[in-house]
Amino acid sequence: MLLKFEGDIAGLERGIAIMSERLGFCVGDNGIPVKVQKGTGKLEVSMEEDKGCIVYSEKVQFFRALGLLLEGLQSSTSFKIVEEPQFTLNGGMFDLSRNAVLKVESIKNLLEKMALMGLNMVMLYTEDTYTIEGEPYFGYMRGRYSYEELKEVDDYADIFGIEMIPCIQTLAHLQQFLRWPAARYLRDTADVLLAETESTYEFIDRMIRAASAPFRSKRIHVGMDEAHGLGLGRYLEKYGYKRRFDIMTNHLNRVLEICRKYGLKPMMWSDMFFRLASKTGHYYDMNADIPKDVIEKVPREVQLVYWDYYHHEQKEYEFFISKHKEFGTDPVFAGGIWTWTGMCTNYGVTFLNTNAALNACKKGGIKEVFATMWGDDGAENNLFTTLLGLQLFAEHGYSKELDMEKLKRRVKFCTGLDFDAFMDLKYLDETPGTLPDNRECNNPSKFLLWQDVLIGLFDKHVESLDMAGHYAATEEKIRSHRDPSKELDFIFEVPQKLCSVLRIKADMGIRIKKAYDSKDLDTLKKIAREELPELSRRVNELRIAHRDQWLRIYKPFGWEIIDIRYGGVMARIDTAIKRLEDYILGRIDRIEELEEERLYYDNRKTQINEEGLTYAMYTWAASANVFSHG
């Protein structure tokens, strides 16, 4: 397709050139004329009598409009689309601090797709994965970004009108840096900085300077969430007990002084103010009463970021939006694309909670929103699986009411993948035994992969469920979406191979225990000599596929953690074979691991309850024993 752009295209040329290569159109004097106009409100795209028109008010909207134009031309020669932006800021925050650090090229790829969606903001969440001059242990062996790398991605984002905002931590969540002896002087607790100490603020000054320098934006996210041990470690020894509200607000004021020094406009997570006011220490405590003097002490120059991806009802988000407004400023809302429970994105709860949240934001007049994509417990998931969630945020952002059919068309155009291809990934964890939409965020694909075949800490949870049949069916669903000619086909390789593993591993421990208890030596022989070797082979295939995916999109640092996990599974399969063979051949008269009764991990009495199956992290599933001293 040949297009000819006329009008207000100054500053758009590089982006048009990039998109022409990605989307397969050309620009030339003999092309379909497309008039481009700067407007002040609605986004408009039309095609009539072989002439196109785009009206946009901000740079990124042009690239969304370009996508809408090309999408429309696939099926019609005459159309008009009018969209009304609902938010002034709408984008995504990628967690690059839980081992998986995106390569520069991966960030650029995501930026291109986000530009087509019309999203205008990206945060790279970097606890210690950026470079501070003179701090060799900050981000050491963690894949930290250099100034030049961050400058490169900021320059690329600017081509499309996407603002990149530094997103760091200036109080808690710094355990990976504070673990080093060189950082002990900064430590209150294992992951919290020592407040009200001059050396701490000298360090934070250098943090903020280094984190903000590569970016055009004058905004910065300074973190400060989940500082649970604030004032209760070395601070307590050094200064004595002090009301934690006061420590928090005093620390905040010192951080804001540094932000003012560099001309930065800060935002921060809001949870600590709510947790400290709650008798249960809970962020979402509807009975929490934040003292008026604390509200008055929180400077109006800092925006509070209300993060919430847990509630299912719109009215719950409306309540907490109103509580945040009591601080005297409009909060930024941070929702979530549920990436952080294992190797799949939980799209059931993502859609349920995001629709409720963003409808509440529109009703409550919230103008700035973004989606978080966390990488808890090793970042096993692939951030490219989140593109449907980003599309969901985008479509909410350009319409008062979400149009699901339009969302499906748009995600197909922007990513090349069908809506159902993304959605079917949820069935890795939305299994028999989970609640509708997996709303309690159970993660059976994770605990069934990492748990031991002889010890089976989570076997009780699935003992009467057809998990093997479920994963066999899910494997076929995922296979049906595969198309090697598609750019993003690679995101299905790991989920498909994970299903191949789980179709035989999910109930392996249950079958071993049953055969052992009934002294069924024939079954034990078959398991030891055929099934367990085959399982080990499949686990290794999964490991290799996962490794290839990781090295394709992330820096190599952090993969060693996942390698160790896979290595542990394979080593334990080898040990299980030996233990079974020793028993089968009479070298031992019992297998102690199989003598133990299987219990529910979470102390429930029945398999099915109001929380569905259960949730587990790697260490919970792998062993009941000690991973490290202390």
Q: Is 307 helix (H, G, I), strand (E, B) or coil?
A: strand
- CATH top-level class of 425-622: mainly alpha
Weakest-pLDDT range from 54-58, 86-90, 226-230, 619-623 = 226-230
Report domain extents, the chain: 2-83, 89-415, 425-622
Considering all CA atoms of the chain, what is the largest pairwise distance in Å, rounded to the nearest integer?
A: 86
Produce one character per residue of 398-427: b if its CB has 16 or more CB atoms within 10 Å, e if not. Answer: bbeebeeeebbbbbebbbbbbbebbbbbbb
- CATH top-level class of 89-415: alpha beta
pLDDT at 275: 84
Report d(CA 534, CA 515) in Å as an integer.
19
Confidence check: pLDDT of 48 > 90: yes
pLDDT, one tens digit per residue, over 429-442 is 999 999 999 999 99
Number of DSSP helices (H) and strands (E) in the chain, helices first: 25, 14
- Percentage of residues in the chain having pLDDT higher than 70: 100
Say if residues 395 and 402 touch (Cβ distance below 8 Å).
yes
- The sheet carrying 51-56 orders its strands as 26-27, 2-7, 32-38, 51-56, 43-48, 79-83
pLDDT, one tens digit per residue, over 338-382 is 999 999 999 999 999 999 999 999 999 999 999 999 999 999 999
Structure tokens at 201: 């603020």
pLDDT at 629: 62
295: pLDDT confidence band, cut at 50, 70 and 90?
Answer: confident
Mean pLDDT, rounded, for 50-64: 97
pLDDT at 610: 83
Report d(CA 399, CA 258) in Å as an integer.
39
Mean pLDDT, rounded, for 126-153: 98
Mean pLDDT, rounded, for 191-217: 98
pLDDT at 281: 84
Superfamily of domain 2-83 in the CATH hierarchy: N-acetyl-beta-d-glucosaminidase (3.30.160.230)
Confidence check: pLDDT of 488 > 70: yes
Mean pLDDT, rounded, for 303-321: 97
Mean pLDDT, rounded, for 176-187: 97
Helices (H), 160-270: 175-178, 198-212, 234-239, 244-261
pLDDT, one tens digit per residue, over 508-530 is 999 999 999 999 999 999 999 99
Other CB atoms within 10 A of residue 145 CB: 24
Mean pLDDT, rounded, for 394-416: 98
**Single pTM value for the model:** 0.97
Weakest-pLDDT range from 286-290, 317-321, 409-413, 497-501 = 286-290
Confidence check: pLDDT of 630 > 80: no
Tokens 């004058």, located at residue: 218
pLDDT at 454: 97
pLDDT at 491: 98
pLDDT at 293: 80
Confidence check: pLDDT of 112 > 80: yes
Which residues lie across from 494 on neighbouring strands? Answer: none
298: pLDDT confidence band, cut at 50, 70 and 90?
Answer: confident
CA of 558: how far to CAs of 102, 141, 378, 406, in Å?
A: 11, 8, 8, 38
Confidence check: pLDDT of 208 > 60: yes
pLDDT, one tens digit per residue, over 266-280 is 999 999 888 888 888
Question: How high is the mean pLDDT of the chain?
Answer: 96
Confidence check: pLDDT of 290 > 90: no
